[in-house]
């Protein structure tokens, strides 16, 4: 079990993680959050279940977000919005 304490922030440049909005924590997804490695231009470079991926960064007002698709064994591919989140340790 993993616990992440912190707060949502406006941009991925401030974030340590990306939280999947609406993802069931009981679901057997490979990951429920992503670890932010860096932002390169309009791409978020992150890891989910240890695999590096690049996600497009979008803006709505002053807030950034992205989207990721994960595979559910029952429902198939599911798309989730990813919101920037900074853990309380800021790592």
Would the pTM of this model clear 0.85, i.e. be above it? yes
Is the dihedral angle over the CA atoms 14, 50, 56, 5 positive or is it negative?
A: negative
Quote the number of domains for the chain: 1
pLDDT at residue 24, rounded to an integer: 86
Q: pLDDT tens digits, residue range 18-65?
A: 999 999 888 888 899 999 999 999 999 999 989 999 999 999 999 999
Q: What is the DSSP letter of 56?
A: E
In a domain, 1, yes or no: no
Measured distance CA(60)–CA(80) in Å, rounded: 16
In a domain, 33, yes or no: yes
Identify the bridge partners of residue 63 per DSSP, sorted by sequence position.
60
Measured distance CA(36)–CA(22) in Å, rounded: 19
pLDDT at residue 86, rounded to an integer: 96
- Residue 38: domain span: 8-86
In a domain, 15, yes or no: yes
In a domain, 76, yes or no: yes
Measured distance CA(91)–CA(87) in Å, rounded: 7
pLDDT at residue 28, rounded to an integer: 87
In a domain, 3, yes or no: no
């Amino acid at each position: 079990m993993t616990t992440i304490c912190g707060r949502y922030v406006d941009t991925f440049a401030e974030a340590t993680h990306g939280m999947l909005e609406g993802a069931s924590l009981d679901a057997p997804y490979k990951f429920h959050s992503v670890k932010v490695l860096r932002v390169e231009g309009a791409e978020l470079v992150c890891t989910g279940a240890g695999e590096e991926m690049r996600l497009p960064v979008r803006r709505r007002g002053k807030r950034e977000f992205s989207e990721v698709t994960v595979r559910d064994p029952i429902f198939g591919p599911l798309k989730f919005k990813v919101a920037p989140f900074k853990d309380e340790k800021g790592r």
